[in-house]
Amino acid sequence: MEYIEKVKNGVLDLQCDRLGDEGCITLSRALPTQIHILDLGNNKMGDEGCITLSRVLPKTQIHTLNLLYNKIGDEGCIALSQVLPNTQIHTLRLNSNKIGDKGCVALSQTLPNTQIHTLYLDYNNIRFNYRDQLYDYVKKRKGNKNKRKKMYEIIQNDKFL
């Protein structure tokens, strides 16, 4: 598969490849487990592609996942949120998608049980008051106080509706 050939030093950079949902589904079926960084930014991936990708993430070693500038909505974000506690992901970029309040709530409830310390959610369809819910869950996050502070600062600086 042509995607596998692009893996270099544990990085699979497919940013701007215009995969769409169909390409992301195909990639998910053959995703190498040795990848540490997966960049699928700006690929026109929607909920269907994100849901399929989410199913395989727990079987990988991915710690940095870039999904910015796609078309992921609440359904995709909810599916991703459900598997995050079973992954090694600590850096997650979801900025500039179509995630709304429901996706934000699902992500908020999952955060305390994940390894995530860097989260980007700016430029989605999340109303401002749901940002406060993210704050609450970040405060509950177990582990390093500096990592919680860093995540809190990232959320605080994001652009919400």
Residue spans of the domains in the chain: they are 4-157
> Vertex 10, ends 6 and 15: CA angle to 5°?
50
Cβ neighbours of residue 48 under 8 Å, at least 6 residues apart? 21, 25, 76
pLDDT of residue 103: 94
Residue partners of 71: CB distance under 8 A and separation at least 6: 44, 45, 46, 47, 97, 98
Per-residue pLDDT of the chain (161 residues; tens, 9 = 90+): 566 677 888 999 999 999 999 999 999 999 988 899 999 999 999 999 999 999 999 999 999 999 999 999 999 999 999 999 999 999 999 999 999 999 999 998 888 889 988 888 888 888 877 777 776 666 665 555 555 555 544 554 455 44
Using a 10 angstrom Cβ sphere, with 0-12 exposed, 13-18 middle and 19 or more buried, the burial of residue 50 is buried
pLDDT, residue 161, reads 42
pLDDT of residue 153: 46
Domain 4-157 has CATH 3.80.10.10: yes
pTM of the model: 0.86
Residue 107: Cβ within 10 Å count: 26
